[in-house]
Every structure is written in structure tokens, then in C-alpha cells.
């Protein structure tokens, strides 16, 4: 088989990339390991509404809930609820991924499901990908450019020789249940902090309706033997949602990756979680995947058109455009992550109290920049400077 | 040796990039370990949130 481009992984990054390449008039194979995109779910499904709306318009059936309020509960039980109308969406992620893949197919991409990459080969550039299809068996796809968008596992990047080992100390072990037969506010996200609840991470309640939610937590991987995620989550659910029915179980890895992000090797572009393009604080990656996939696809199309002569010139389109938009944000989250890891439960309590005071005079958080909130916190709690100084 | 309980594994792939010797492979839906490469470092069972990976230390003293 021969295509102009091959995209490995039909998640948000891969489908966005395939859309851009196909719309530019080039043939593109979109490989998906599973029988259909969007499964299995490895995601809390929460995303910023404003940022997503700027990228695309969503059909209503792809949205489970629209979030207007965020409640954060400190280890000592102090809670702040911040109103932020339209702050976010809880997506119907399997349908969302499926819809993106459908858009890629509608644009002309060929979706090859139950297909995995086995080996990348070529002389000076990558020229072919050995594949295995569950039904048809082994084969080879030749192409002029390749995009690895195969998630945190990132097998293709590894096959290409990109070192993508993550130190276990830089990861969180995530576990989430889909709970039914519960009562939740469908417009409210709840976050619980504290080392006894979710050591070095947080616990979340993301509503799927007023009777259903994704409830999950992260635990720093180095602490899972002492604090098993399943036990912590079961304890929380048992006390908060005693009559809950478990309707699904999901897990995953949140990399708090501190190493260099590698977005390209020769004519292989790496996008989304495969490039470690995620928020080091929350582990959120959907928006970064969409954006990095789009720019990777645009760069690939420019390469195929002949706008770019040398592979190295790809960098001016991808990752440069992506990093121009999101690089500072990703770097800030990494620094904040390091601060977050130093905070004690007492610190969390103090920060929540300071936030309660800060927001007392405000009806909504909308329009406030993180720097303004930070300045407000330091003004009332100068002690916090000892952490904030690590930002610079 | 490393034991993988396929019936517990949820196919998330999170353990794969943690393996320092690239000994873990996720095929279509199953996770495999190349026992010849595995050094029993313990990173993957430490990560696995659903306890699908365990170390069996038969020869441990």
C-alpha cells in the first residue's frame, strides 16, 4: 500500500492531522489499533469550553454537560466554589473521537482499524511502516511523511528511535469509575485535594448528568504501594456515594514529564500525548492533542506540496506554531507542578482560605488571569512567596 | 517473573513507556512482557492502578 502520509492513532491528535492532510488533497492512511476510535476510554472527559469552541464547533450529542461552577475542597474540608459560566465541557469522549475520525474520512482519509505499526524503516528518511492488521495480517505501507499520534504509549515514536522512556517518579497512576445511581450537580466540577485523598494529585467528580459522573483520582506512582488507588477511590465513593453503581472502570498514566519534548525525527512528526504535550498539573491533554495534531497535519501537507524542501524546515511549522501558542503555558504548568508537589495539606488549606477571601468580592472568575489571582493570594498570604519564587 | 492478568488489564498502555528495557508490548488488546528483557525493576506493577501486573519472585531468598 502506498499513501502520501500515514497517521498512527485515530485519537484527537491523529484525526485532526489526517483532516488537514486530506483536505489539502493528499492521500492519508489513519491507523487505529482498536475496532473503532474512542475506545477504550482513558480520560476524565473534561475540557475548557472556550478553548475548544475556538478550535471547532461541537454537535450537542458530543457534550454530556456544560460546566458553570468549580468547587475545590481542601484536605481540612474547606471548600471554595467559583462561578465561571461556561467554564468547560464534559465530553462524550468515545463519540467525540468517533466524530473526529469520521471528519477525517469525510475529508478523504482512509481509516484502517485494528491495525498496528510494527517497524519503521528507510534510508535517510522513513519510507515504510510495517503493519499488522488483525484480519488481514502483516503488510507494509509506504509514505513520504509519518505522524505518530498513538498516545502516551507512543509505540511508533519508540520504533523510530525517539527516547520516550518516562521515569516512574514523573508519573501518576490514574483510576476512574463511571458511577450511576448518584446525585450530582450537572453543571459543577468537584476537586478534592489532600495527601490522604489523592497523594500528590487530586480527586475529581466530573458530572455526566444529574445521576451519573466520572469519579477518579491520581496517585503519584511512587506512592501507590502505600496508598493503593483502588482503595482510596473506594473509600471516597463509599462515604460520598453509598448507593452508587459502578458502570465502568478506566485507568491510565498521567506523565508529569520533565524531560525534553521531541516533536520530530526526520520525516516523522509526533503529536498529542505521544509528544508529552499535556498539562503537568491536571494531566489534561485533549486540547493540546487537537492543536498539535492540527499543526502537525498542516506541516505535513506543506511538506507534501513541496513548500518545504528540507525535513528540518518542518520545525518552522511544527512544532514552532504549536509552541508559539502553547509553549509558555506548558512550561508554566511544569513549574507549577513542581510547586504543587511541595505543598503540604496545611498549605492547601491556607491557599483555599486565601482564595475564599480573594473571590468573596467577586461574582465570577471569568476574565481573571492566573497572574491576577496569584498576586491577590500573595497580597493576603505573603508566606506563599516561598513557593511562588520557584516560578522564576 | 512478571505476571500479567489479562482479565484485569484495561489496555491503557500506561505501563509501556515506564519499562526501562522496552520489554512491554501492547498488541491489539493484550499486554505482553518479554521475560528475557525484564529486569523485575518493579516500575510497571507500581504503576498499574488495577493491579493487573505482579511480580512473582520464586527464587527470592
- Closest residue in B to A250 (Cα) is B10
Q: How many angstroms separate the Cα of A269 from the Cα of each of A27, A57, A69, A126, A151? A: 17, 26, 38, 11, 13
A121 pairs with which residues across the strands?
Answer: A128
Q: Which of A260, A234, A231 is nearest to A331 (CA)?
A: A260
Residues A244 and A179 sit within 8 Å (Cβ to Cβ) = yes
Contact yes or no for A174 and B16 at CB 8 A: no
Chain B residues within 8 A of A259 when measuring between CB atoms:
none
Report pLDDT digits (tens) over A42-92.
788 999 999 999 999 999 999 999 999 999 999 999 999 988 888 899 999
- Closest residue in B to A43 (Cα) is B12
pLDDT at A233 over 90: yes
How far is it, in rounded angstroms, from Cα A101 to Cα A123?
Answer: 31
Contact yes or no for B10 and A34 at CB 8 A: no
Q: Which of A105, A99, A127 is nearest to A18 (CA)?
A: A105
Q: Would you state the pLDDT for residue A363?
A: 67
How far is it, in rounded angstroms, from Cα A125 to Cα A120?
Answer: 10
Q: Which three cell numbers stand for residue A67?
A: 460546566
Provide the pLDDT confidence category of residue B59 given band limits of 50, 70 and 90: low
Contact residues for A56 (Cβ-Cβ < 8 A; gap 6+): A290
Question: Using CB atoms, which residue from B22, B43, B51 is nearest to A168?
Answer: B43
Contact yes or no for A154 and B17 at CB 8 A: yes
Q: How many angstroms separate the Cα of A275 from the Cα of each of A46, A149, A220, A366? A: 20, 8, 21, 31
Contact yes or no for B14 and A134 at CB 8 A: no
Contact yes or no for A253 and B14 at CB 8 A: yes
How far is it, in rounded angstroms, from Cα A37 to Cα A101?
Answer: 7
Report pLDDT digits (tens) over A243-254.
999 999 999 998
CA-based nearest distance A361→chain B, Å:
42
Residue A25 sits at φ, ψ, to 5 deg, of 95, 15
CA-based nearest distance B16→chain A, Å:
6
Mean pLDDT of chain A: 92
Question: Using CB atoms, which residue from A116, A158, A173 is nearest to B22?
Answer: A158
Per-residue pLDDT averaged across A171-199, rounded?
A: 95
Chain B residues within 8 A of A216 when measuring between CB atoms:
none
How far is it, in rounded angstroms, from Cα A207 to Cα A190?
Answer: 9
Q: Which of A190, A245, A184, A242 is nearest to A209 (CA)?
A: A184
CA-based nearest distance A166→chain B, Å:
5
Q: Would you state the pLDDT for residue B24?
A: 94
Q: Would you state the pLDDT for residue B6?
A: 94
CA-based nearest distance A380→chain B, Å:
39
CA-based nearest distance B40→chain A, Å:
14
A28 pairs with which residues across the strands?
Answer: A5
Question: Using CB atoms, which residue from A175, A224, A255 is nearest to B46?
Answer: A224
How far is it, in rounded angstroms, from Cα A260 to Cα A168?
Answer: 16
- Tell me which of B43 and A163 has the higher pLDDT: B43
Q: Which three cell numbers stand for residue A167?
A: 521515569
Question: Using CB atoms, which residue from B27, B47, B50 is nearest to A253?
Answer: B47
Per-residue pLDDT averaged across A220-230, rounded?
A: 93
Question: Residue A248: in which H helix or E strand, if any?
Answer: strand A245-255
| Collapsed DSSP state (helix, strand, coil) of residue B40 | coil
Q: Would you state the pLDDT for residue A390?
A: 63
pTM comes to 0.93
CA-based nearest distance A136→chain B, Å:
14
Chain B residues within 8 A of A116 when measuring between CB atoms:
27-28
Question: Using CB atoms, which residue from A42, A165, A249 is nearest to B20?
Answer: A165
Report pLDDT digits (tens) over A94-150.
999 999 999 999 999 999 999 999 999 998 999 999 999 999 999 999 999 999 999
Report pLDDT digits (tens) over A237-281.
999 999 999 999 999 998 877 778 899 999 999 999 999 888 888
Amino acid at each position: 500500500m502506498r499513501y502520501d502520509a500515514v497517521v498512527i492513532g485515530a485519537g484527537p491528535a491523529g484525526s485532526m492531522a489526517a483532516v488537514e492532510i486530506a483536505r489539502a488533497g493528499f492521500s492519508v492512511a489513519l491507523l487505529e489499533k482498536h475496532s473503532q476510535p474512542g475506545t477504550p476510554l482513558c480520560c476524565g472527559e473534561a475540557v475548557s469550553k472556550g478553548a475548544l469552541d475556538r478550535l471547532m464547533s461541537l454537535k450537542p450529542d458530543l457534550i454530556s454537560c456544560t460546566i458553570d461552577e468549580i468547587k475545590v475542597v481542601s484536605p481540612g474540608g474547606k471548600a471554595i466554589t467559583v462561578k465561571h459560566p461556561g467554564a468547560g465541557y464534559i465530553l462524550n469522549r468515545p463519540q467525540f473521537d468517533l466524530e473526529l475520525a469520521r471528519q477525517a474520512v469525510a475529508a478523504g482519509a482512509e481509516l484502517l482499524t485494528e491495525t498496528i505499526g510494527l517497524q519503521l524503516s528507510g534510508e535517510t528518511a522513513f519510507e515504510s511502516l510495517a503493519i499488522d492488521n488483525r484480519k488481514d495480517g502483516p503488510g507494509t505501507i509506504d509514505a513520504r511523511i509519518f505522524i505518530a499520534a498513538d498516545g502516551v504509549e507512543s509505540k511508533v515514536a519508540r520504533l523510530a528511535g525517539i527516547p520516550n522512556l518516562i521515569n516512574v517518579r514523573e508519573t501518576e497512576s490514574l483510576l476512574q469509575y463511571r458511577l450511576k445511581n448518584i446525585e450530582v450537580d450537572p453543571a459543577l466540577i468537584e476537586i478534592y485535594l489532600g495527601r490522604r485523598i489523592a497523594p500528590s494529585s487530586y480527586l475529581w467528580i466530573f458530572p455526566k448528568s444529574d445521576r451519573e459522573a466520572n469519579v477518579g483520582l491520581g496517585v503519584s506512582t511512587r506512592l501507590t504501594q502505600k496508598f493503593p488507588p483502588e482503595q482510596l477511590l473506594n473509600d471516597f465513593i463509599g462515604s460520598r456515594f453509598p448507593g452508587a453503581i459502578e458502570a465502568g472502570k478506566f485507568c491510565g498514566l498521567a506523565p508529569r514529564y520533565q524531560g525534553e519534548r521531541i516533536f520530530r525525527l526526520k520525516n516523522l512528526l509526533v503529536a498529542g500525548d505521544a509528544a508529552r504535550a499535556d498539562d503537568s498539573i491536571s494531566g489534561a491533554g485533549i486540547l493540546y492533542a487537537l492543536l498539535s495534531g492540527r499543526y502537525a497535519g498542516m506541516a505535513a501537507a506543506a511538506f507534501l506540496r513541496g513548500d518545504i524542501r528540507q525535513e528540518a524546515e518542518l520545525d518552522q511549522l511544527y512544532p514552532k506554531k504549536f509552541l508559539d501558542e502553547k509553549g509558555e503555558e506548558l512550561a508554566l504548568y511544569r513549574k507549577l507542578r513542581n510547586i504543587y508537589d511541595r505543598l503540604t495539606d496545611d498549605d492547601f488549606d491556607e491557599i483555599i482560605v486565601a482564595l475564599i477571601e480573594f473571590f468573596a468580592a467577586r461574582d465570577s472568575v471569568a476574565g481573571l488571569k492566573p497572574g491576577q489571582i496569584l498576586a491577590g493570594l500573595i497580597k493576603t498570604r505573603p508566606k506563599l512567596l516561598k513557593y511562588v519564587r520557584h516560578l522564576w | 517473573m512478571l505476571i500479567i492478568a489479562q482479565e484485569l488489564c484495561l489496555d491503557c498502555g500506561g505501563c509501556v513507556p515506564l519499562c526501562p528495557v522496552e520489554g512491554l508490548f501492547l498488541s491489539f488488546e493484550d499486554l505482553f512482557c518479554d521475560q528475557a528483557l525484564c529486569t523485575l525493576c518493579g516500575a510497571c506493577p507500581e504503576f498499574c492502578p488495577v493491579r493487573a501486573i505482579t511480580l512473582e519472585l520464586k527464587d527470592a531468598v
